Chains A and B, each alone.
Chain A
Amino acid sequence: MPLEFKLNPSAQRKNTIDFLKAGLYKVSPLGYYGEFGGAFIPEMLYPNVEELAEKYLGIIQEEAFQKEFRELLRDYVGRPSPLYLAKRLSEKYKTNIYLKREDLNHTGAHKINNTIGQILLAKRLGKTRIIAETGAGQHGVATATVCALMDLPCVVYMGEVDMQRQAPNVARMRMLGAEVRAATSGSKTLKDATNEAIRDWINNPKDTHYIIGSVVGPHPYPDMVARFQSVISEEIRKQLQEKTGNELPDYMIACVGGGSNAAGSFYHFLNDDKVKLIGVEAAGDGVASGHTAATTAVGKPGIIHGSRTMLMQTEDGQIEEAHSISAGLDYPGVGPLHAHLFKTGRATYLNATDNEALQAALELTRLEGIIPALESAHALAKLKDIAFKPDEVIVVCLSGRGDKDMDTYIKKLEN
């Protein structure tokens, strides 16, 4: 039974309005979103990160950079990605649901928006070697793809567990010429792949650029990745204007692991208080089960991968292992922007269990003929929990396609 959706506790609302007035959803010059963010890195990473922090805005704002970036997004990625009115899905939930079709991008997910941006940046910084981490493999594939395009050697770190559950993406990365290295420490998933990539960067301080795949890591990564992904909400505004005569939706819904597709989906709506921003985290077996990746629900402020953010951790400050059926959401932190949006109440964070995500994936497949990625299915899974009005406009970011998840779908859905 859908619940009347309560946007935010009223105490937090005032906060939100104050932040809106001050424009504080943007990152500060030192890399903070409120109390979150920063760059908590060992000195070995300082020169690389500092170089990025000093140069990224200048480079991104160059006309020549923008031209090359926009052209590649258009001609290589296939942007703008369609905004599709999902009629049968809308009928079912008695409202108007639009899907932002990031699944139709080249390589099958939103991840390539960021890797195109970062590879162009890396070239301008004179870097000759690229490293990346990957969870579901979508960011790894998107990185391997742009490295093939730009003729740069590429090493992708991937948790050993994820290499098994996302085997087709491992094969794709290798075919694209990337070296895939297994991360065998910890939970052998995204967190550990990120640790290994950072360690690689420490050991290769001069020639290497680290293409982080989400809005996580030390400043300037969260802001840089959000800017590259912000093309998603930039397009949504235009497309909604054309389709509905109003550029603002009532709801913008996206899944959150580290939170890059959500950051991109929220970006150009942050200052439009009318737009309800909903992030959906992976609950795994359930928030209280001890097998979850719902960071804002069970975490508290801490430091992971160079950033102060919400973090799943023990009382002693050890990072807890996340659990989700979706490799792309299997992360014990969130980007600092999301921690800030959570804390201030500007965005609301819900969570969906493994089962809810599977059911939502099947539903979209049968109603619309679209097989979504397991990650995106988490966002879809919350449609049933919100009491939408018939005249409202809902946008869900369909961040990726489900090809990579066919093994899981076949196994889990055959009963």
Chain B
Amino acid sequence: MNRIEKLFQDKEQRILSIYFTAGFPELNDTIRILESLQHADTDMVEIGIPFSDSLADGPVIQEANMRALHNGMSLKLLFAQLRGFRDKINMPVILMGSLNPVMQFGIESFLRSCKDTGIDGVILPDLPVDEYEKNYRTLFESQDIYCIFLVTPETSNERLRKIDSLSGGFIYAVSSSSTTGKEKDMNKQEGYFQKLRQMDLKNPVLVGFGIKDKNTFDTACQYTNGAVIGTAFIKALQTGNNVEEHINSFIKGIKAR
């Protein structure tokens, strides 16, 4: 069973997924950060594949991307770092990034490398769902790698149904149309979250974009299965010297009841 599916089977509420950029702050931090996140009881992790021109990202993740690339990170190197990580890490792990680096790596070798290293799902925000259905779906399914799609408050119900039918693992509900890391009032999105709940989708829903602390996490969790934190975590990574301890207190702070 895919680890993402297993996670949602075992736990329906307050799922916390953390995003960080591979190769940031230092080139070889990937495994160290994964271990710290697991130690802090994080439910799931999204590793960002750095890209020079990520359209959906705000300044903080753009900066992390540039730093990671400057450090020498590449998709090839990321897969090398991930070799053997399943000996230590049990959480579901997702790769998230722009389509172009994946295309240049070659979609088939990319999915094979995902499978070989133990990656469970992929989020490629600029891969449209129709393109996926037509050209990529069989490839993803043959490797049992979930392709997770985004929806926004502007996504029509008809399209939501389609995305739900093609998305694997969960649906990534962008809190409101924006780039990552924008200040938002989650309470204003109540209607949208409620709609998602009432539609009785086949997939669980995680909210992302604008989730930054316990408050915003709690609000998202009132209506959905959990949330994703990216920008706020990247900021937290930049502040402390003792990364392990820092990650631990960050996660504990969010998850506290």
Interface residues of A (CB under 8 A from B): 38-44, 46-47, 185-186, 191-192, 195, 198-199, 202-203, 205-206, 302-306, 311, 313, 315-319
Contacts and interface: CB of A to CB of B under 8 A. Distances in A.
B154 interface: yes
A41 B178 contact: no
A198 B178 CA distance: 11
Nearest to B59: A185
Given A302-B100, A303-B103, A202 B179 contact: yes
Name the residue among B74, B152, B155 with the largest chain A CB count within 10 angstroms: B152
Contact of B150 (A39, A43, A185, A203): A43
Contacts of B165: none
B143 to A, nearest CB: 20
A58 to B, nearest CB: 20
A202 B100 contact: no
A39 B177 contact: no
A205 B154 contact: yes
Contact of B101 (A205, A305, A318): A318
A320 to B, nearest CB: 8
Contacts of A44: 56, 150, 152, 154, 174, 177-178
B149 interface: yes
A22 B100 CA distance: 30
Interface in B66-104: 66, 69, 74-76, 98-104
B185 interface: no
Interface in B123-181: 125-128, 131, 149-152, 154-156, 159, 163, 174, 177-179
A378 B150 CA distance: 43
Contacts of A46: 128, 152, 154-155, 159
Contacts of A199: 55-56, 58, 179
28 contacts: A38-B131, A40-B99, A40-B131, A41-B128, A42-B56, A42-B126, A43-B149, A44-B152, A44-B154, A44-B177, A46-B152, A46-B154, A185-B62, A186-B53, A199-B55, A205-B152, A303-B99, A303-B100, A304-B53, A306-B126, A311-B100, A313-B104, A315-B104, A316-B76, A316-B101, A317-B105, A318-B101, A319-B52
A203 B179 contact: yes
A198 B55 contact: yes
Interface in B45-60: 51-53, 55-56, 58
A203 B52 contact: no
Nearest to A315: B104
A199 B61 CA distance: 13
A302 B53 CA distance: 13
The 10 closest A-B pairs by CB, nearest first: A317-B104, A317-B101, A205-B177, A42-B125, A316-B74, A43-B150, A318-B52, A47-B154, A317-B100, A44-B177
B128 A203 contact: no
Nearest to A316: B74
B214 interface: no
Contact of A43 (B101, B104, B125, B179): B125
A318 B103 contact: no
Contacts, number: 104
Contacts of B100: 302-304, 311, 313, 317, 319
Contact of A202 (B66, B151, B163, B177): B177
A38 B130 CA distance: 11
Contacts of A305: 55
A36 to B, nearest CB: 13
Max count, chain A CB within 10 A of own CB: residue among B52, B103, B152, B156: B52
A203 B177 contact: yes
Contacts of B177: 44, 202-203, 205
A200 B58 CA distance: 10
A191 B74 CA distance: 21
A352 to B, nearest CB: 26
A195 B55 CA distance: 6
B182 interface: yes
Contact of A39 (B66, B102, B128, B149): B128
A138 B188 CA distance: 40
Nearest to B126: A40
A350 B100 CA distance: 26
A54 to B, nearest CB: 12
Contacts of A39: 128
Contacts of B66: 185
Name the residue in A42, A303, A318 with the highest tally of chain B Cβ atoms < 10 Å from its Cβ: A42
B172 to A, nearest CB: 9
A317 B126 contact: no
A203 B182 contact: yes
Nearest to A301: B103
Contacts of A318: 51-52, 69, 101
A185 B66 CA distance: 9
Contacts of A40: 99, 126-128, 131
Given A44-B56, A302-B103, A302-B104, A317 B174 contact: no
Contacts of B152: 43-44, 46-47, 205
Contacts of B104: 302, 313, 315-317
A203 B180 CA distance: 10
Nearest to A39: B128
A191 B55 CA distance: 11
Nearest to B130: A30
Contact of B151 (A43, A185, A206, A316): A43
Residue of B105, B126, B159, B178 with most partner-chain A CB within 10 A: B126
A318 to B, nearest CB: 4
B178 A202 contact: yes
Contact of A186 (B52, B76, B125, B159): B52
A293 to B, nearest CB: 16
Contacts of B154: 44, 46-47, 205-206
Nearest to B182: A203
Given A44-B154, A185-B66, 9 more contacts: A41-B126, A44-B150, A44-B152, A46-B152, A202-B55, A302-B104, A306-B55, A306-B126, A319-B52
